[in-house]
């Protein structure tokens, strides 16, 4: 059986994996050359995974897209996120406090052509990445293990995100630092409290489509609340 598995060309194996994934996620766009592990990946509706991207051990919400050449592992990603080309996240780490950073000395995973010198794990390679709803990552952003990026945040192209990012912050640089906030503190608190992106599609279409500012949104919500009070007392 092992010989049979090894004899199957990689392209055929990947085709079979994608076929299985598409059966489970028919409303997801999968571009050419994409690799997705169907056994460890869950994805919401109308997502787009573009050319030559890789996804495994991850959960992705609705209407999130990854441009070409993304590498997404060990990540929990919200809805309505936008990732530019070349983004990398959840790829694992090596122990800087050990004498050697080579996994041959501390890992039984067999990364080096299945060669292992130990019979158990001495280091936790992967700490998950969390990316909340409505996040935009520019091109070639790297998100290190254990990082949480808050709702509505933006990471500038080429950033290496090593620490948690607050909601609606704009970060950039190596390592990434907060450059500014998209809105004032009170506005951000109100936006987060609304749990916008957990609301239904019809609500979002009604209130967020078009050139909608926070002031527009808050006004719409206030009007809607007044109408509800009149109807239901």
Catalytic residues: 97
Instruction: Determine how β-strand 35-36 pairs with β-strand 48-49.
Output: unpaired
> How would you class 46 by CB atoms within 10 Å of its CB: exposed for 0-12, middle for 13-18, buried for 19 or more?
middle
DSSP string, 127-179: --EEE-TT-EE-TT-EE-TT-EE-TT-EE-TT-EE-S-B-TTEEEETTTTEEE
Q: How far apart are the first and last CA of the chain?
A: 69
Judge whether 105 and 88 are in contact, CB under 8 Å. no
DSSP string, 7-24: HS-HHHHHHHHHHHHHHH
> What are the tokens at 14?
């990947």
Question: What's the CA gap between 3 and 173, in Å, rounded?
Answer: 48
> What are the tokens at 99?
């004498």
> What are the tokens at 163?
């620490």
């Amino acid at each position: 059986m092992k010989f049979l598995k090894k004899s199957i060309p990689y392209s055929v194996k990947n085709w079979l994996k994608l076929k299985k994934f598409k059966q489970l996620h028919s409303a997801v766009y999968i571009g050419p050359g994409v690799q997705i592990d169907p056994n460890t990946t869950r994805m919401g509706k109308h997502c787009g995974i573009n050319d030559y991207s890789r996804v495994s051990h991850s959960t992705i919400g609705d209407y999130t897209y990854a441009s070409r050449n993304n590498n997404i592992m060990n990540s929990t990603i919200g809805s309505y996120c936008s990732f530019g080309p070349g983004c990398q996240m959840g790829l694992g780490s090596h122990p800087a406090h050990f004498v050697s950073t080579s996994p041959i000395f501390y890992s039984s995973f067999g990364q080096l052509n299945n060669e292992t010198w130990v019979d158990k794990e001495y280091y936790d390679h992967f700490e998950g990445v969390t990316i909340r709803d409505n996040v935009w990552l520019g091109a070639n952003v790297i998100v290190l293990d254990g990082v949480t990026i808050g709702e509505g945040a933006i990471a500038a192209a080429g950033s290496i995100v090593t620490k948690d990012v607050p909601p609606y912050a704009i970060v950039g640089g190596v390592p990434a630092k907060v450059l500014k906030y998209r809105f004032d503190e009170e506005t951000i608190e109100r936006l987060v409290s609304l749990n916008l992106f957990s609301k239904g599609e019809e609500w979002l279409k009604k209130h967020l489509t078009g050139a909608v500012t926070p002031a527009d949104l808050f006004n719409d919500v206030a009007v809607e609340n007044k109408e509800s009070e009149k109807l239901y007392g």
